[in-house]
A = this chain, B = another copy of it.
Amino acid sequence: MSNERLIYLALGGAGEIGMNAYVYGYGRPGKERLIVVDLGVAFPDMDTSPGVDLIFADISWLVERRDRIEAIFITHAHEDHVGAVAHTYEKLKAPIYARKFTANIALRKMQEHGHPNDAVTVVLPWPQTVKAGPFTVGFLPMSHSIPESSAMIIDSPEGRVIHSGDFKLDETPLVGEPFDPDVWAEVSKDGVKALICDSTNVFSPNPGRSEATLGPDITNLVQSAKGMVVATTFASNVARVKTLAEAGVRAGRSIVLMGRAMKRMVEAGVETGILTDFPSTVPPEDAKSIPRENLMLLVTGSQGERRAASAQLARGKYQGMEMKEGDLFLFSSKTIPGNEKGVIRIINAFSELGVDVVDDSTGLYHVSGHANRPDLERLASIVKPQVLIPMHGEHRHLREHVKIANGNGMTGVLAVNGMMVDLSGNQPTIAEYIETGRTYIDGSVQIGAMDGVVRDRIRMALNGHVVVTVILDDADEPLGDPWCEIKGLPETGTSRTSLVEVMEADLGQWLGRAGAKILRDDDKLNEGLKRVVRQSAFDEIGRKPEVTIVVSRLS
C-alpha cells in the first residue's frame, strides 16, 4: 500500500451550475502536487448579489498551496469555465493550458488585465499530453455548444481519471469535432478509476439531438419571413451562429453581426481556423442601405441582458438599426433559470413594436449543448469507471446522477464543493471537508461574499437608510438638534407629517433626557440613537430602516 493518494476536490461547480473550479492532487496527504481544471465565473443577480459584476470560486485553499500547483487546464471557452483565469492569475501564477480556440479566448482576457502572453500554452488534442508533476494530462475532443470542448484524460500513478468537461454526444456538430465512441472505448479500455461527469441535463429523459438537425427548420423560418430577421444565441455557440448565418444566406439575406461578444467569437473562430467557411458579413453601418427584407442580424443577448444588442433593439435603435412591425425575432436559445423575467421583458417590448417573436418552445430552433440522461448513461457504459462523481450541477442534479449510476451498477459518489474525495484504493472515501465560498468582482475590487458588503446593500434595498448626525460640544452637550437624512424611505408616514421631522423630534427628546454617562460614551450613544430612530420610523412607516449614526465631538 502506497503512502500517496489521489484526490479530487471541487471548489466551485459541484452544487451549482456556474463558476467551475476543480482540483486534482497526487502525493502524500498534505503534500499532494495539484492541478486545477477550469476557473470560471458565475453571474450575479439582484436577489443575492446586487451591484456585483462577476462571481468566482474562493481560491484561498489554492493560494495557500500555490507552490504545489503544477498547472491549470481549461476544458473550453465558456465563461463559467474560463472566465476567472485573468482575475486569479496574480494569486496563482500557474501555467495555463488550453486548446487553440479556448487559449485564444483566455489570452484576450489575460491581455485585458496586462498579464503576460506566455502564461497560456496551446495544447494539441489527445493523444498529445502535458506533463504536470505526477500527472499526464490530455485533451480529448468532445462535442458541446462551443468548439474544441474537451474532456481531460488525467493519468496519475494511481491510474486514469477522466474529467468530462461539458459535453453532449453529437456525431454531427457542424463546427468542432464529433463525439467518437471508438476513441472513448480506446482510452477507457485499460480501466478508468473515476469519471467526473457533467450533470446539467440529467433530468432530460430523451437522447439529445444533434446541432445538424436545426439547419433546415431555421432556414425555412428565415425564408418565410417577410421583414427583417434578427436572431440571438450565445455568441460562443459558433456552430449555431454559423447555422443561423447560412440560413440567412440561403434566404438571400445579408448577414450582420451585432454585439461585442458576437464579433469577438466569430473573430476567434476565424483566427484559430475553426470557422473556415463562415459567410461574409456586412458591417452595421452599411446595413442601413440594404432593404430590411434582405437583412438578417445575429445579435447578442439571448438571456435578456439589459445592455446586450437584443435588449437595445427592443428599447429602440441599436447601431442605427431599428425593428419594426412585421419583423421577426428568433431566440435560438434556451432561457437559463433566473433569466425569465429579462427575456419576457424583451419579448413584450418587441410585441409593442409589432415584431413577431419565435422562441425554442417548439424545439425546432434550439438544441442543448449538454448530454441528456440516456447520453450520460451511454458515456458511462463506454468508460465503465470504477467510480462516477457527478459535477456541473446543482445538488438535485448531482443526487439524481448518483442514483442513476448506482442503478446501473456503478459506484456513484455525491461530492459537493469542499468535499475532498480520496480516490486511492478500492473504495472512494471523503478525506476532508474544505471551506469553500464565493469571491465577488465588484468594480475594480475583489470582495468575499461573506464580507458583509453585499449584505449591507441588500439591507439598504429592503429597508432604506437613515443617517443621523449629532454634534456634541466640548462639554459633551448636544450642540443644536440632531438631524436625519433619509434615502429609500417615504417622506411622510401615518402621522402625515414629515418622517424626518418626527424622527428628529424623537431623537431630540431622547438626547435631552440622556445623562452625561450616555453622552460621553460613543457606543451607548450610538446604540440609543439607533434604537430611537428605528422605533420612530417603525411607528410612522411600519418598517425599521438601516441606520448610520454620525457623532461629531468638537472636543
Chain A positions within 8 Å of B, measured between CB atoms, are 15, 45-47, 50-51, 203, 337-338, 340-341, 344, 347-348, 350-352, 357, 361, 394-396, 399, 442-445, 447, 451, 453-454, 456-458, 460-465, 467, 469, 471, 479-480, 483, 485, 487-494, 538, 540-543, 546, 548, 550, 552, 554
Contact = CB atoms under 8 A, between A and B. Distances in A.
A489 B344 CA distance: 32
B541 A488 contact: no
Nearest to A399: B351
A445 B493 CA distance: 6
10 tightest A-B CB contacts, nearest first: A444-B542, A443-B542, A461-B461, A457-B488, A443-B543, A50-B461, A460-B460, A351-B396, A456-B488, A351-B395
A490 B51 CA distance: 12
A4 B218 CA distance: 53
A366 to B, nearest CB: 17
B469 A550 contact: yes
B550 A471 contact: no
A226 to B, nearest CB: 15
Q: How many identical chains are in the complex?
A: 2
Nearest to A403: B356
Contacts of A494: 444-445
Contacts of A552: 469, 471, 480, 483, 552
Given A351-B396, A461-B50, A543-B442, A453 B485 contact: no
22 contacts: A15-B348, A46-B461, A51-B461, A51-B543, A337-B340, A337-B344, A338-B341, A340-B340, A347-B396, A350-B396, A351-B394, A443-B541, A453-B488, A453-B490, A453-B491, A456-B487, A456-B488, A457-B462, A457-B487, A465-B487, A467-B548, A487-B546
Contacts of A50: 46, 461-462
